[in-house]
C-alpha cells in the first residue's frame, strides 16, 4: 500500500519554488508562496487536469517528504528548497 497525501496539508504547494511559468502563475512560484490553485482546504483544484504544472504532477507523497504532520512536511520541504539553492 502506498503513502497518500495528508488531507489539508498543502506543504508541497507552498514550500517549493517553481521556476517555470504555469497556468495561473505566469511568473512561476517563489518558495513559501501559496499556489493560487490551492483551495481553502489546501487541496489542489488542478489535480488530475492538464493545466497542472509538470513539477506538481511528478511529485508524489512519501514519508521522507511528508513526515508525520503538515508542519513537519513544511519544515522538510523548506530545508530541501534551501539545499537545492546552495
Per residue in 18-41, pLDDT tens? 999 999 999 999 999 999 999 999
Positive or negative torsion for Cα 79, 58, 73, 51:
positive
What pLDDT score was predicted for residue 86?
64
Q: Tell me how far apart the alpha carbons of residues 9 and 1 are, in angstroms, rounded to a whole number.
A: 20
**Is the Cβ–Cβ distance between 13 and 72 less than 8 Å?**
no
Task: Determine the average pLDDT of the residues in 69-83.
Answer: 94
Amino acid at each position: 500500500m502506498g503513502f497518500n497525501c495528508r488531507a489539508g496539508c498543502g506543504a508541497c504547494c507552498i514550500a517549493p519554488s517553481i521556476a517555470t511559468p504555469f497556468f495561473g502563475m505566469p511568473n512561476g512560484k517563489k518558495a513559501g508562496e501559496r499556489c493560487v490553485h490551492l483551495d481553502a482546504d489546501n487541496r489542489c483544484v488542478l489535480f488530475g487536469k492538464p493545466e497542472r504544472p509538470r513539477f506538481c504532477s511528478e511529485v508524489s507523497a512519501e514519508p521522507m517528504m511528508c513526515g508525520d504532520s503538515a508542519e513537519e512536511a513544511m519544515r522538510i520541504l523548506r530545508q530541501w528548497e534551501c539545499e537545492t539553492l546552495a
